[in-house]
Every structure is written in C-alpha cells, then in structure tokens.
Chain A
Amino acid sequence: MKIGASTFIWVSPFSNDTFHLFSKVKKMGFDILEICVENPQTIDPVLIRQASLAEGVEVLICGAFGMDRDISADDEATRLNGINYIKCCIDIAAEVGSPLVSGPMYSATGKTRLLDPIAKKKQISLAVANMRIVADYADQVGISLAVEPLNRYETDFINTVDQGLDFFDQIGKDNVGFLIDTFHMNIEEKSIGEAIRRADKKVFNFHACANDRGTPGVDHLNWIEIKCALEQIGYDRYMVIESFTTEITEIARAVSQWRPLASSADMLASEGIKFLKKTFI
C-alpha cells in the first residue's frame, strides 16, 4: 500500500510556486503527492514530472469540479467544458505518470437539486454518455478514472457505493472505478466495511480521512473494520489523506470547512501518516 497526501492539505490552487510540497511530503514519509488540478493554467506537467523524479514521490492526479465543469449539466457548453477539463486532467496524468484521474467527475460539486425522476434520468444518461467518451480517451493512454461518491450535502447524484456500481454498469468500461473516501462513507454508508466489500475490485483509489476531515486515527471511525474490509478485497494500491486548507478556492462552499481541524496542516499530515503506516502497513 502506498500512502499519499493531497495538495489540498496545504495549498489551493497547486501551482509552479508550490513545488516545495514534494520535499515536504517526502520528508514526512509519503510515497505519493495527490495533485488537485484546480486551475490547469497553473499546472506545468513537465516541471511536475521533474520534481516527482527528483524527490522520488509519485503523483496522482485528481480533479476539482466547480459549477462550470459539469458533464451532466443542462446546457451543452458546460458539459463540453466538463469533458474538456477531464481530458485535460487525463493529458496531465499521462505526462506526470499518474495511472489515475480521480474525483467526482459525474457532476459539479455542490449541485444538490431535487430532481423529479424524468430530469434525474436525463442527467444520468448525459453523465453515462460523457463518461464513456472520457473513459475511451483515458484508455488510449492506459489511464483509469476513479469516480468519487460524495455526501448528500455536496451532490445529489452519487452518494453511495451502490449508486456508483449502478452507474458503472451503465457506463460499461473496465477503466472506470471508484475513489472511495471515509469522510463521505461515514455519512452515507450504513456499514463502511460492507460498502468496501461491495465495491471490491472497483476500488481504484482510497481517501483515508477522519470523520471530521482532520487527522485520521484520532477520530471515531472504526479503522480496524476498514482495514479488514480492504484486506478481504485484496486492495493494496493507494491510501491518500485528504483535508482542506481553509483558503481553498474552486470548491470552498461545497466542502464547507470553516475551522482548522488540527493545530497545523503539517501536524495533520505527519500524525496522519504515522497512524496509517501503523495500521495498514
């Protein structure tokens, strides 16, 4: 299992000015830096690749889906923008050596409308059709898409593993699976262990977050249950800590983090990795 840290713990947006994160996470003992592409203009894949190789820290690419990046939006321009953004993340992933593009790519984060069944069906069919397009695009460069269910306050679309599995059945592409996140699962899954077992081989990426999105391990989640479930499905890929700086821009309203959740971002990451290594490795 490789342990990672999300750039969101410290910075928003990640840019050429924040490459110091590579040496920071390396010193803390992380194998992975998960880079969230808030603004592609600030991302230089060539320089990221160099920094990644120089520090010996692998990169995973993750997307941030604001209101204008929505493959299931009502209007075509927004859908196209969403498709182009995901393709851009795939291009970046290919260049920096990330085998995955992760994130809640089916919709815009923070869209929590109550749709009637007809409108819902239309939204799903738009998402399915457009997920096929980006999945094929990703497949050409050997990249997989890790789709993240979010809790009810962040999306009305995919909240649970069961809804995600249904969605994947409709898409029908082998390179589409899950990023599952313990913070969201705490709210939405009746049993986190069961949800992990049902997701099974479709778990491509995993966010290990405390129930309050602070330091994993000091919280009330049942980490032994989580460990057992991951062992049962033979998951040994990535385990990434995600928390947010309170200065986050692209999805600030959606994640609603109003207060610092640890004494510092560095403490959150260094205490978090200690716990995850002890528990999972």
Chain B
Amino acid sequence: MFKYSFDTLVYGDEPVRKSIERLAKFGYDAVELVGEAEKYSIPEVRSACADNGIVVSSLCSIFDAERDMVHPDPKVRQNTLDYVQKTLEFGAEVGASVVIVRPSPCMKTAPLADAVTEHAWAVENMRKSAEMAAKLNLKIVIECWNRYEAYMLNRLDQALALAKEVNMPNCGVMGDTFHMCLEELDLAAAFRSCGEMLYHVHLADSNRAAPGIAHLDFVPILKALKDINYQGYLSFEILPAAADPFAVLSNGGATEFLDPYTKFGIDHMKKCEKLI
C-alpha cells in the first residue's frame, strides 16, 4: 500500500548504481538521492534507475553553514538560494517529485539575527524556493530536526506554521520519525495534524537505526498516514549513533547500515502494514 524509498546518505561514497541495485533487490520502489548535483552523473542515475525499476522519489538537500537562508550576510542568503535552484534543477533532471528545503542549516544552534528578522528571511526565501520549484513542477518540503541539530524548527507544528505563511501549494512539510521521537509528544497525532500538507516522510527507529531495531511503534504512525490519505513516499533515513554520523561512515564504520538494515527496515514496515 505504501511506497518505500531510501536515503542514500548512509551509503556514503558508494557508486549510485550499487545503491540502486541494493534497493531494488530488497523491494524498494524508489531512491532518495543526496542534494549535491556534482556528485552524480545524470545519465548514470537515469540508466541505473531504469535498469532496476526504481524511480528517484526525492532529494535530501544538504544545508551546511554556508547554506543558510536566515544568515545576516546577504551573500550567504543568495548563495543558499543559488544552491536550492541548482538542486531543484538536478531534481527535475532525475525525475524527483520532492526536494527537502530548510531555512537554517544543520548544527546551527544559535541565531545570528533577532527572531523577527530571521522569521521574515525564512518566509521570504522559502517562498522564493517554492516559486523556483513550481517552475520545475517540483514540491518542496520543510523538515524539522531535533534540538541538538537546530534551534529553528524542531516540531511539525512549527513547520506547518511556516508552510502556511509561505502559502504556496507546492510547499508542504515532512516528518522524520527519529527527530519526532525526541520532540513530539504523540507522533501519530503530529502526522495527522499535517493532513494534506504532509508531502514527505523519513523513517528511522528511536535510535536512528532501521525501523524494528529499537522501541518506536510504527503501527499507529502508519494508521495515521492511511487516515490522512498520505500519497507520498516513506523514505528511510537511517544513520549511526553519533553526534556526527557522517564521520563514522567516512571512517568505514557502521557496515550493518548497508545490506542488513536496508533489508530489515523494509521487512519490518511491511509487517507493520499488515497490522493496520
């Protein structure tokens, strides 16, 4: 009933064809690519997808300190919009339907401007991003991160409020179950409250490993998604247990996140589907 995708972030630098083959082997419908256009050859992505019956569901954009829509330096804000434009173009080229866009970067835990100014920049630049995306027939989604990764936008009600202010039909919100497990009081209720503005979902268990490894109950979440008639992808974004999971991966650690968790996660979700 649900469509499954997998964010290749956790696969690090492995060739995209190998990632896509792995996802096809374990029964995924789609792949979520990292929003760094220069890392990929577009013809290679297209042919690897075609050869394996996989589509590109979405792009996971990377917002680092230089990509910050609410930075006091107008050059940084413009650089961020340039990055979004480039990433949207890449998304359109590979046939993605959703691109994740966030006004403030990962690990930014202190504002550089007052709250009113930051908010105005966030609305203005998210609207510009939505307008750019609309021209390419793409949706953008606002992602919330837990308190340790961002001071801005920790909970879905905050993202919904921003999306409503942006007020563009192609700008919605997404929920990531790992971050939600820390920040939301009731995950299923938080998903329900998004209603038709929920355009994307990231799946991970409470410890960010594959669903089924830890203690998060995905059955009420799937029920909520079914009830709001969610039509988007459920995309696994699983990462190792560290404040900086990417350093673990680039050091060759956490190999269980390759074949074992890729298989375990989707098998677990399909079991949960039978219980709703």
Partners in one complex: yes
Report A's interface with B, CB cutoff 8 A: 112, 114, 152-154, 156, 159, 186-192, 210-212, 214, 218-220, 222, 253, 256-259
Q: Is B244 a contact partner of A256 (Cβ separation < 8 A)?
A: no
Q: Is A188 a contact partner of B248 (Cβ separation < 8 A)?
A: no
Instruction: Report the contact-size class of chain B (Cβ under 8 Å from the partner).
Output: 20 to 34
Q: Is B181 a contact partner of A253 (Cβ separation < 8 A)?
A: no
Is B120 an interface position by the 8 A CB rule? no
CB distance from B260 to the nearest CB of A (A): 15
CB distance from A104 to the nearest CB of B (A): 15
Option from A112, A187, A220, A222 in Cβ contact (under 8 Å) with B207: A187
Alpha-carbon distance A218/B184, docked complex (angstroms): 10
Alpha-carbon distance A152/B242, docked complex (angstroms): 5
The number of inter-chain residue pairs (CB within 8 angstroms) is: 67
Report B's interface with A, CB cutoff 8 A: 109, 146-149, 151, 154, 181-187, 206-207, 213-215, 241-244, 247-248, 251
Alpha-carbon distance A219/B214, docked complex (angstroms): 18
Option from A159, A212, A253 in Cβ contact (under 8 Å) with B241: A159
Q: Is A253 a contact partner of B109 (Cβ separation < 8 A)?
A: yes
Option from A153, A190, A211, A222 in Cβ contact (under 8 Å) with B213: A190
Specify which chain B residues have a CB less than 8 angstroms from the CB of A253 in the assembled complex. 109
Option from B181, B213, B247 in Cβ contact (under 8 Å) with A186: B181
Q: Is A152 a contact partner of B147 (Cβ separation < 8 A)?
A: no
Specify which chain B residues have a CB less than 8 angstroms from the CB of A211 in the assembled complex. 181-182, 185
Q: Is A153 a contact partner of B184 (Cβ separation < 8 A)?
A: no
Specify which chain B residues have a CB less than 8 angstroms from the CB of A191 in the assembled complex. 214-215
Of the listed residues B182, B187, B242, B243, the one surrounded by the most CB atoms of chain A closer than 10 A to its CB is B243
Q: Knowing A219-B185, A256-B109, say if A186 contacts B206 (CB, 8 Å).
A: yes
Q: Is B242 a contact partner of A212 (Cβ separation < 8 A)?
A: no
Q: Is B207 a contact partner of A156 (Cβ separation < 8 A)?
A: no
Alpha-carbon distance A257/B181, docked complex (angstroms): 16
